[in-house]
Amino acid sequence: MNLLCLSGSLRSASSSRAVLDHIVGHLPDGVSATRFDIGSLPHYNADLGAPEIVEAFKAAVEAADGLVIVTPEYNYSVPGVLKNAIDWASRPAYASVFKDKPVLVASTSGGALGGVRAQAHLKYMLNGMLARVFPWQEVIVPHANQKVKDGVFSDAVTEAFIGQAIAAFVDSIGAGR
């Protein structure tokens, strides 16, 4: 099984990237991870047609058995770079590479809410594209900046919860095959 793992942050030292690194490093046996740099995508513009990098991104989504998206919360929502990637991959409407694709969403925030507002917006967008958003308790990392040291995420309680969510997500994908 292969999961496409996306960070909603471009910053190399971001808490979202650190949480995603943790997830990738602790996947269950038999599960591999692929990543894609969504920052390499041009701003969405239908006049551009299908740039090669966009086609590569859509192919990566299509080839994955499921996606794990970890997003920070910017101004109570998802970062523009993540929304841009979703806009590219969501075409054609209702028949995009996201249709029926299992997706696990997690969020990070420097505040106490852990990015729940961004997560709600992201799930709403994914549902609109007919993706199969994994029904699980919200995987959030509040006060995330305090849980990342030298680019490494460390918080035993949150790590255990994320591990349970990933295991359940992988099991749900396996059951659906």
d(CA 152, CA 21): 8
Task: State the pTM of this model.
Answer: 0.96
Residue 27 pLDDT > 70: yes
Task: Give residue-wise pLDDT tens across range 110-164.
Answer: 999 999 999 999 999 999 999 999 999 999 999 999 999 999 999 999 999 999 9
- What total number of domains does the chain contain? 1
Closest listed residue to residue 130, CA positions, set 89, 108, 99: 99
Strands 148-149 and 152-153: antiparallel
CATH number at residue 136: 3.40.50.360
Give strand pairing partners of 140. 107
Containing structural domain, residue 90: 2-175
